[in-house]
Amino acid sequence: MSSNLRIQAISGHSGAAPGAGTQRGERVAKLIDTTTCIGCKACEVACLEWNDLPFRETVFDNTYQTMPETAWNYWNLIQFREHVRPDGTLEWLMRKDQCMHCAEPGCLEACPADGAIVQYENGIVDFQQQHCIGCQYCVAGCPFNIPKFNPATKKMFKCTLCTDRVSQGLEPACIKACPTGCLHFGSKDDMIALAESRATQLRDHSGYERAGVYDPQGVGGTSVIYVLHDATNPEAYGGLPKNPRVPLSVKLWKGPLKWLGNLAMVGGLLGVTLHYLRFGPKQVIEKETDRA
């Protein structure tokens, strides 16, 4: 079952994307069940190996976490957090952190470069580095702090949801490597159903009364969804925002401000043209006496 790479949205593009408004195939999704993640980092290594990402130097930072956040050459990272519950017991939360592949991607909306970010019909949001100008607007547009800059090549990078594998009917590398089966891949509908049934199981049988699915609607839902022990407290999982949205500033900038700006510029040009036609230039009468 290979997935469709027809493009539904293109950053910085004047005119519609070829696939806009169509939906021939299914949207895909990766389900991450944090309740069965053991933080083994097989997914980190699989991503590095599949994508041929080079070695980076790391330092000890009082945690098992490999590095503080994802990097241009480290696209997925387990976030480890020691979290004390209200009753004093400890939990050690482990969350696989990577691009969420939002249905309404803030990065794509913010990006000014034509074709640098595309969104496929299957929901995957992919950076096309050949069109990237390294302006880092995507960094500002993303509520999950995902796009990362390579200072040497001045291009932005992030998880690709293995579009190269997915388009050939394979699951992403991280999913293949996960030993406990905490990662699942399939159609969004199927993954939501699986996630909900797992969350129900956690509530009914494991004492996690607030277990739930994280599929934030503020960005239109995502192609990466989580099952959380406590869906009311995503921040406990190392920086997962509770109600992520494409930032208001981005929406204002790309929406009302565009209109205002265009109005101002066009209006300004029109204005001065009309002024000239109506009033003409200021004339200065030269006097003979000045020539002395």
Residue ranges in 154-183 that form contacts with other proteins under rule CB under 8 A: 154, 179-182
Query: What character string, x for contact with other proteins (CB under 8 A) and - otherwise, covers 64-83?
Result: x-x---------------x-
What value, to the nearest 5°, has the Cα angle with vertex 104 and ends 120 and 44? 70
CA atoms within 13 A on the CB side of 200: 6
> For other proteins, which stretch binds (CB under 8 A), given 17-25, 158-166, 210-218, 275-283?
275-283
Range 238-257, binding other proteins (CB under 8 A): 247-250, 252-253, 257
- Candidates 58, 200, 217, 243; binder of other proteins (CB under 8 A) is 58
Query: What character string, x for contact with other proteins (CB under 8 A) and - otherwise, covers 127-146?
Result: ----xxxxxxx-xxx-x-x-
**Least distance from C-beta 169 to other proteins, angstroms?**
20
Indicate whether 25 belongs to the interface with other proteins (CB under 8 A).
no
Distance CA 290, CA 287 (A): 6
> For other proteins, which stretch binds (CB under 8 A), given 97-105, 119-127, 162-170, 278-286?
278-286
**Least distance from C-beta 271 to other proteins, angstroms?**
8
Distance CA 76, CA 100 (A): 11
Q: List CB contacts of 267: < 8 A, sequence separation 6 or more.
A: none
What value, to the nearest 5°, has the Cα angle with vertex 142 and ends 91 and 212? 35
Indicate whether 56 belongs to the interface with other proteins (CB under 8 A).
yes
Range 104-123, binding other proteins (CB under 8 A): 110, 112-114
CB atoms within 10 A of CB 38: 12
**Least distance from C-beta 285 to other proteins, angstroms?**
6
Indicate whether 63 belongs to the interface with other proteins (CB under 8 A).
yes
Range 183-202, binding other proteins (CB under 8 A): 198, 201
Residue 132: which of 152, 102, 153 has the closest Cα? 153
Between 23 and 209, whose beta carbon lies closer to other proteins? 209
Distance CA 154, CA 50 (A): 22
Residue 189: which of 67, 24, 29, 13 has the closest Cα? 29
**Least distance from C-beta 237 to other proteins, angstroms?**
12
8-state DSSP, 53: P
Distance CA 222, CA 105 (A): 9
